[in-house]
Structure 1
Amino acid sequence: MTDFKPLEKKLTGLENKLKKYRELLLANLVMVGEIPAPTFNEDKRVQFILNRFDEAGLTDSSIDDHGNGIGVLSGKEGKDSILLNAHADTIFSQKTDHTMQVSSDSITGAGVADNSLGLAVLATLPYILEDLDIELKKDLVLFAGVKSLGRGNLEGIRFFLENNPFKISDAICIEGIQLGRLSYSSIGMLRGEITCTVPESYDWSRFGDASAILTLNEVINKINDIRLPKRPRTSIVMGSIVGGTSFNTIARDATLGFEVRSESQEVVEDTGSTIGDIVHEVSSKTGDQVELDIFARRSPGGIPYAHPLNECARSVMESLDIEPRLAPSTSELSALIDEDIPALTLGITVGERTFKTNETIQIDPIFKGLAQLIGIILAVDGGYCE
């Protein structure tokens, strides 16, 4: 890596300079955060981001055939591009109250951390770079991706990567939290649902014998009995369970949402196959309809710890007194890895109660997170990461 000192000088005092954009950033955050955007229904939020790109003077902004929002901040040379990605969807439904509650030091609201803040940064960055008189050599492609979470299975960014005209040299994925997050690799993953349904023909005179929840519980017990290796590190996360309608009614259906995660793709596939066997066994034994639906997969991979982009990111963090938190990811980073694009995922601020309607982020650390992001963009643009 080349001498980092010239870039360190540019980072000196940058955090304080960025505080002047507090009101603009928070206004963008509140406005975009109060637009519901469950996966497959992100169009209104993407249109808001496109309007912001247009107001910032980005002449080359558009919505592609998959619904992704794209804005291009042209560089002086434009031979290749830096991709800046923030997913537009959230886990919350249209019916959820999306009101953002702003205090002097924090903002609370559904999806504010995941990923309304990331989108707000995307919308505000063109204003910041212009006002700070920062002109890049490379094009900066600002990407608000759709269909990222859950059953979306990264469809938005995968479509973009397969069809875009840009020569992308490096990419950065922006997440609202946590500041210090530095993800440069993806683990193997398999995500799915197991649904149990008691058939219409069941003999209901057998008091207490039938319950989709009890059948699903048998599936869960058998999954818990699967022997997982310690090396490569592997886990099964049973993240959600839904079933039944009331206290005094036997549950006719129940659904388990789960993920298999491992450093080994072979272990992921073997574990998924074992879960499939369990589902068939329990279905045959109970007579209930038990079905397995696998709707998302990830392959392990990423850039090395010593990759220049990774080294640059750690150097920028060190200069800003940010302690890197190294952790693998199963987000958009994995789609970039699949295309052999050097990429990182970063967090912007600190927060708590993630994935709950009272999700909260702290305001003051945002500016250090912004300085970190701009610093890494400048490092890539300046050739420090080659």
Structure 2
Amino acid sequence: MLLANLVMMGEIPAPTFGEEERINFLIDRFKEADLQENSIDEVGNGIGILKGDIGDENILVVAHADTVFDDKTDHTIKVLKNMVQGPGVADNSLGLSTVATLPTLLERLGIKLKNNLILMGATRSLGRGNLEGLRSFLSNYDEPIKAGIGLEGVELGRVSHTSIGMKRGEIQCRVPEEYNWSRFGNGSAILTLNEVINKINNIHMPQRPRTSIIMGSISGGSSFNTTALKATLQFEIRSESSEQVQSIHQNFEEIVSEVASKSGDSIELDIFAQREPGGIPYTHPLVRNTRKILNKLDLEPRPGPSTSELSTFIDRDIPAVTLGLTEGDHIHEVNESIKIEPMYKGIAQTIATLKAIDGGYCEEA
């Protein structure tokens, strides 16, 4: 059933801000599982509630519905002997399919929770979405949430319990329309962007707090024999310190201003997503019990920071962890793949963590 949901879910394109059809599919799965309370909210999140025996508190399990692939990409999913392959299967069609399948899994296992279980497919999570789906839900939901679990397709064994500080954005260079093309060999937006990158590489990175600049994507130009009129760098600034993130952001602003003044090109810096550092400690009962569960499954726990939905829980002082469901390769490539066999342990850890939270074992004294 999980693999069937994964294939059907994964073959529905869901770029950020275009998740409607995939969310409709999720709601159909909730209805088939007889979840009486299911809805799509004002930002497009798909929500199903499995009522608990007592129902005084709520546990929220969330997976983001969007992927990095646009609707022009071939979303055919292949189920092979030992793996599933296709764009977005790891990030995050498997996570969303698990959310869709959980009500049936719990019913088949005879597990009845005391707390209400809120199952959610979150929209507008990636890129410019900046976790807007989950942020909106938590801002408007009035009932108490006991704890949260974020589900990601990979990697099995991860126990993310902290969020690092982050700013995500683009630097776009454009050659002005009035450029003097008689100046043979000059005027390329790629060359201007290269100057920006060289200066970014000279920014000092402290060892403590741990800090990095990730240059994730560079694009520009159109042909071998045509001068590039536009070039774009996509990047993330990451640090355990919000002050360090802000300091590097200021360095970026100064670099952009300097290179623009010298080149005469138009250079724009656009920051469209950010996170604040924080989280629950390694010794928190939720983290401790999740690690115990992984050890019982003969898995090596890998605690560490995340820039996922976890940061939104942190902002609301809700204890939460992000868990991976299996092992994968070629993440964010069209031949993205995930292994089938480890999914059994991925599902087991998820349900065991749910039971631990529901039983009150993950609360601080």
Cα drift, residue 383 of structure 1: 1.1
Q: Distance in 2 between matches of 1:326 and 1:280?
A: 39
Select the residue among 333, 340, 343 that pairs with 1:363.
Answer: 340
What does residue range 1-386 of structure 1 map to in structure 2 within 5 Å?
24-386=1-363
Q: Distance in 1 between matches of 2:215 and 2:105?
A: 42
Q: Distance in 2 between matches of 1:56 and 1:363?
A: 23
Unaligned runs of 5+ in 1: 1-23
Counterpart secondary structure, 1:119:
helix
* Residue-by-residue CA offset, 1:251-275 (whole Å, 9 max, x unaligned): 0000000111001000000100110
**Alignment length (residue pairs):** 363
Identify which range, 315-324 or 86-95, moves more after superposition: 315-324
Cα drift, residue 385 of structure 1: 1.0
| TM-score (normalizing by structure 2) | 0.99
Letter in 1 for 2:70: S
Counterpart secondary structure, 2:49:
strand
Letter in 2 for 1:115: N
Counterpart secondary structure, 2:218:
strand
Q: Distance in 2 between matches of 1:172 and 1:79?
A: 18
Counterpart secondary structure, 2:305:
coil
Cα drift, residue 338 of structure 1: 0.4
Letter in 1 for 2:12: I
Q: Indicate the percent of aligned positions where both proteins have the same amino acid.
A: 60
Identify which range, 286-295 or 165-174, moves more after superposition: 165-174
Cα drift, residue 165 of structure 1: 3.0
Cα drift, residue 322 of structure 1: 1.2
Counterpart secondary structure, 1:285:
helix
Cα drift, residue 362 of structure 1: 0.5
Q: Distance in 2 between matches of 1:73 and 1:242?
A: 45
Unaligned runs of 5+ in 2: none
Q: Which runs of 4+ in 1 moved over 4 A?
A: none
Cα drift, residue 80 of structure 1: 0.4
Counterpart secondary structure, 1:184:
strand
Counterpart secondary structure, 1:327:
strand
| TM-score (normalizing by structure 1) | 0.93
Letter in 2 for 1:297: Q
Cα drift, residue 185 of structure 1: 0.1
* Residue-by-residue CA offset, 1:139-165 (whole Å, 9 max, x unaligned): 000010000000000000000000013
Q: Distance in 1 between matches of 2:243 and 2:111?
A: 46
Letter in 2 for 1:56: A
Letter in 2 for 1:335: T
Cα drift, residue 166 of structure 1: 2.7
Q: Distance in 2 between matches of 1:381 and 1:232?
A: 36
Q: Distance in 2 between matches of 1:157 and 1:242?
A: 30
